[in-house]
Amino acid sequence: MMSKDIKNKVVLITGGASGMGYEIADRFLEKGANKIILVDINEKLGGDAVNTFSSKYGNDKVYFANCDVTSAKTLWKTITDTFKDVDVLVNNAGIVQEKDVRRSLM
């Protein structure tokens, strides 16, 4: 359950262009987050997500930063070039390299 304190907050979500990150962004927007920053390496999915969320929640709510989060310096520069503060960070980015999920859990 999300706190009502999310209203008017800036939320950064790594891996936010698809999957769980996308769904998390949608939920934060439903609850009144002021701005969502989707950080992802997939520029097409990021653009698609911004368009979808803009249609649903209005313009200037969702931003996309094409960035590889394995470089903290790059991520920090990308974010601080555009935003002064981030209130909530959701570390969601990840890559599954093993196609067989059972093997990746071993």
For the chain, 106 residues long, give each residue's pLDDT as a single digit of tens.
455 688 889 999 999 999 999 999 999 999 999 999 999 999 999 999 999 999 999 999 999 999 887 777 878 887 888 788 889 999 998 766 666 666 655 5
Q: 3-class DSSP state for residue 37?
A: strand
Q: What is the pTM of this model?
A: 0.82
Q: What torsion, rounded to 10 degrees, do the Cα atoms 43, 54, 17, 48 define?
A: -50
Q: 3-class DSSP state for residue 10?
A: strand
Distance (Å, whole) CA 81 – CA 89: 17
From 3.40.50.1010, 3.40.50.720, 3.40.50.970, 3.40.640.10, which CATH number describes the 10-91 domain?
3.40.50.720
Query: What is the side-by-side order of every strand in the sheet holding 10-14?
Result: 62-66, 35-40, 10-14, 88-90
